[in-house]
Amino acid sequence: MTTILSNLKWLDRLARVLMIALGGATALPIGAQTTQPLPSAPSAVIAAQNEALAKPEGSGYVFHPAGSFTTPGGLSVDRASDAALRLSLDDAISIGLERNVRLKYDRANQRAVKGDTLGVLSALLPNLSVNAQSSAQEIDLAAMGFKPSLISSFASLGLLPPGYSFSQVVKVNTTQASIGASQVLFNLPDYELYRGTSNEAKVIDLKKLTDDGDLILTVGMSYLQVQADQANLTNAEAQQRSARTLFDQAKQKHEAGVGTDLDALRGQVEYQLREQDVIAAQSQMEKDRIQLARILGIPAGQKLELTDSAPFAQLAMMDLDAAKITAYRHRKDFLSLQQQIALTQREVKAVKYQRLPTLAFNGNYGVIGLTTGPYHGDFSAVGSLNVPIFREAAQRGEQDVAEAQLTALRQEEADLRVTIDAQIRSSMLDVNTTNELVKVAQSNVELAQQELADERERFSSGVDDNLAVVDAEASVASAEAQLVQSLYQYNVAKLELARNTGVVESRYRAYLGQ
């Protein structure tokens, strides 16, 4: 049994090591048009944090005063502070834009595209190179065929001066320096591809802006959800206090002999139900705070204090055609698709231009000579003309592929226009519907509170038992919960309308009425 337990512990330790080694940071999805499920926290970060918190100082983990620590492998992990982090909606969005993992990937892609652009540009610009070298050689001329008999025959023919002595081993020290230059003079396919890199860079930039908008929508919805949870908790606590008062009144009446045991029992049950509501509301609020922290990229255990109150401001009616025009001008996904079409059009041109000849130049100029002797110049200049022949089949195939991609992108653009129209119409309906629901919910709360006040007065006067009061309290709790939910749905609908028209990044506060 001891051996089995030891093996299990060893396997568990190995599994933990593998989880830390293989666990990768998962990109946080930030929903495009609808509510998206929250992503899983990076497993490597969580595993490393748990391991680090269990290790004492001096075990290879470097702890920093700012509330973070570095693992022996160099992984930096944040730690939650004891003080609550005060967050306005603007603060939450700023933190999310800075720390969200998905946006960090987008910024890395932007740098990669800039590097690719420079690589394409270098093929069109003149390339200059400088070369300098010095060499020392010792050559055995006999091994190369220059034997004494051959030299003697040269002397007998008068090719060498009388008395010339010939050394079979020759030492030669040479030095040379040169400047080389190459330039593509005419290559339309490369030129079109270079022009397309600007479109590619715009596609990546717009992709990042799209993700920024998605993040703002997700952070805004999560922030509003925590605000709604706080309102529900406040209402639940108020209902609990009210139920406690009702229970005390019923108990006092029963003890005084003017009330029934049923009233006291009913009051106690109602109080305990409201106590359960408080516990459930508190738990839900804490879970939603954890989700907000995960979206922002801060430790899940960090305490949050939301400084903004839940807004309620009616959104002015918006013309459908004007909203669509705004979306076509500002929707980053739509603009990105247009840039992809422009990029593919340049690729089609580049394929067509492959039938044209290309012209290039290559040359160098320098000096060469003995290291200790005189030098003289040498140069070369080469012009090349390349004319493609018998590549028609391959060129037509590449052209068909590029044109098919262009057709698909144009169809996608047409479909996106229809999708934007449908999304805006749906968002407008949601805004109008939830606005009416808020008004009805407000009226229901007022009526339920008036009914509760009347029933409490009847019970205090001894006209009726507390059954009607319990029912009235339940009605108030239900009406207040419905008001909170309706207000949340209304604010989310306004945010989604701002997202669907492409202005959520700059006008989310105006749409919320803050």
Q: Tokens standing for 313?
A: 């401001």
Q: Tokens standing for 33?
A: 């048009």
pLDDT at position 189 is: 83
Q: With beta carbons less than 8 A apart as the criterion, state whether 463 and 487 touch.
A: no
Domain edges within the chain: 2-79, 131-182, 193-344+400-512
Helix 467-500 and helix 392-460: axis angle, to 10°? Answer: 160
pLDDT at position 418 is: 94
Q: Tokens standing for 137?
A: 């050689």
Q: With beta carbons less than 8 A apart as the criterion, state whether 220 and 91 touch.
A: no
Q: With beta carbons less than 8 A apart as the criterion, state whether 170 and 141 touch.
A: yes
C-alpha 244/C-alpha 264 separation (Å) is: 11
Per-residue pLDDT of the chain (514 residues; tens, 9 = 90+): 444 334 434 334 433 433 333 333 333 334 333 333 333 334 443 344 444 434 444 434 343 444 554 444 454 546 777 788 888 888 888 888 888 777 878 888 888 888 877 777 777 788 888 988 888 888 887 777 777 777 677 767 767 677 666 677 888 888 888 898 888 888 888 888 888 888 888 888 888 888 888 899 999 999 999 999 998 898 888 888 888 887 887 888 777 776 777 878 888 888 899 899 999 999 999 999 999 988 888 888 888 888 888 777 778 878 899 999 999 999 999 999 999 999 899 888 888 888 888 888 888 888 888 887 788 888 888 888 888 887 778 888 888 898 899 999 999 999 999 999 999 999 999 999 999 999 999 999 999 889 888 888 887 777 666 778 778 888 888 888 899 999 999 999 999 999 999 998 888 888 887 6
What's the distance, CA 422 to chain centroid?
A: 26
C-alpha 344/C-alpha 416 separation (Å) is: 18
pLDDT at position 424 is: 94
- Residue 247 DSSP SS3: helix
pLDDT at position 514 is: 64
What is the number of residues in the chain? Answer: 514
Question: H helices within 331-391, ranges in order?
Answer: 332-352
Complete DSSP assignment for 453-492: HHHHHHHHTTSS-SHHHHHHHHHHHHHHHHHHHHHHHHHH
Domain 193-344+400-512 has CATH 1.10.10.60: no
DSSP 257: T
pLDDT at position 413 is: 93
The candidate with the shortest Cα–Cα distance to 69, out of 54, 83, 86, is 54
- What DSSP element (H or E) covers 170? strand 169-186
Q: With beta carbons less than 8 A apart as the criterion, state whether 476 and 399 touch.
A: no
Q: Tokens standing for 438?
A: 């808020």
Q: Tokens standing for 357?
A: 């000849």
DSSP 297: T
Which residue reads 């320098």 in tokens? 366
Complete DSSP assignment for 113-137: HHHHHHHHHHTTS-EEEEEEEEEEE
Phi then psi for residue 23, to 5 deg, are -65, 130
Phi then psi for residue 172, to 5 deg, are -130, 125
C-alpha 299/C-alpha 321 separation (Å) is: 44
DSSP 375: E
